[in-house]
Amino acid sequence: MSSLRSHDDSWDIATSVGSTAVMVAAARAAETARDEPLIRDPYAKVLVDGAGTGVWEFMLDDAFIAKVADADAEVAQIFTHMGNYQAVRTHFFDDFYTAATAAGICQVVILASGLDSRAYRLDWPAGTVVYEIDQPLVLQYKAERLAEHGVEPTAERREVAIDLRNDWPAALRDAGFDAGAPTAWLAEGLLMYLPADAQDGLFERITELSAPGSRVAAETVGVHSEERRARMKEKFDALRTKMGEELGAAFDGASPTDVAELMYNDPDRANVATWLNEHGWTASGVTSESEMQRLDRWVLTEEVDEDAFSDFVVGERG
């Protein structure tokens, strides 16, 4: 279970789950700045720069990462792994949308879209409509920030400002969604913030709204052992002390162990591919570990628990 969540909590871009969207955008910005990036997001840094002070600033600072490495090589390796993971994840789901639109799907729904900039940066076919569902303040921040910089979407973008715990299918329909047309759905960086029953409910609603030929893609939730969670918390707490107040503050409320407290570590969560296959979809998945290795982005040297890493699942509605 999550120790920092409640059934009716909400957030803006700089608090709670909202702050994780900024961290993900920072990872995309850092990847874009690499010599040979897996993905290119020219708007990620713009979105990060307007979000105020937080750990995301340090994620873009090579000198900071070097100081982390001097203090604790394993923690620095974890930071590198996290950045690589975000690049590989983004790359995978970008490809999902490329394939979906090539197959003629022109209705797209991004669930808990956060600071996802695909509506602005992908080359969408003419006539594509992208629906973004998220908390009102999160959607407002993104739209206003990009508008300030003269950035226009490359598809017709429609905001659906609602919490996914509420009646989002009705809000989606009110925004013009056509349940009779094939849809490409994305649940990226979302399921870990839902308890198991809410995950089931999400996919039940997606299924009800999906015409034949629809596609869905999702990032599943890895299950971390309590022993490893405790060990990593000790390491990050020690790092705060070792690096001193100035740099240690970079982790306050935003280290991987802190972010984990926003998530639901539910061992009874359904296997997404299995659930989809049992409810009218044809689905399969790849492990994030294998995808990272395929793209030469795996850096962890210690033996890892395969259950701790997510899968990337895709499915098609028959």
**Residue 258: helix, strand or coil by DSSP?**
helix
Torsion of the alpha carbons at 187, 88, 279 and 208, rounded to the nearest 10: 30
CB 124 within 8 A of CB 101: yes
pLDDT at 55: 65
pLDDT at 268: 84
CB 264 within 8 A of CB 302: no
Distance from C-alpha of 296 to C-alpha of 282, rounded to nearest angstrom: 29
Give the pTM.
0.88
Residue ranges covered by each domain of the chain: 17-264+272-299+306-317
pLDDT at 17: 54
Distance from C-alpha of 55 to C-alpha of 35, rounded to nearest angstrom: 23
CB atoms within 10 A of CB 51: 22
> How far is residue 29 from each of residues 26, 64, 242, 262, measured CA to CA in Å?
5, 16, 28, 23
pLDDT at 197: 94
CB atoms within 10 A of CB 225: 12
Kind and range of the H or E run holding 217: strand 215-219
pLDDT at 1: 42
> How far is residue 57 from each of residues 153, 191, 215, 270, 309, measured CA to CA in Å?
26, 26, 36, 36, 26
pLDDT at 187: 98
Kind and range of the H or E run holding 58: helix 55-59
The string over 64-97, giving b where at least 16 C-beta atoms fall within 10 Å of a residue's C-beta and e elsewhere, is bbebbeebbeebbbbbbbbbbbbbbbbbbbbebb
For the chain, which ranges sit under pLDDT 70?
A: 1-18, 53-58, 61, 224-229, 240, 242-263, 303-306
The CATH homologous superfamily of the domain defined by 17-264+272-299+306-317 = Vaccinia Virus protein VP39 (3.40.50.150)
pLDDT at 60: 72
CB 185 within 8 A of CB 109: yes
pLDDT at 257: 44
Give the helix ranges, DSSP H, for 168-255. Answer: 168-174, 196-208, 226-248
CB 278 within 8 A of CB 241: no
pLDDT at 244: 61
CB 14 within 8 A of CB 54: yes
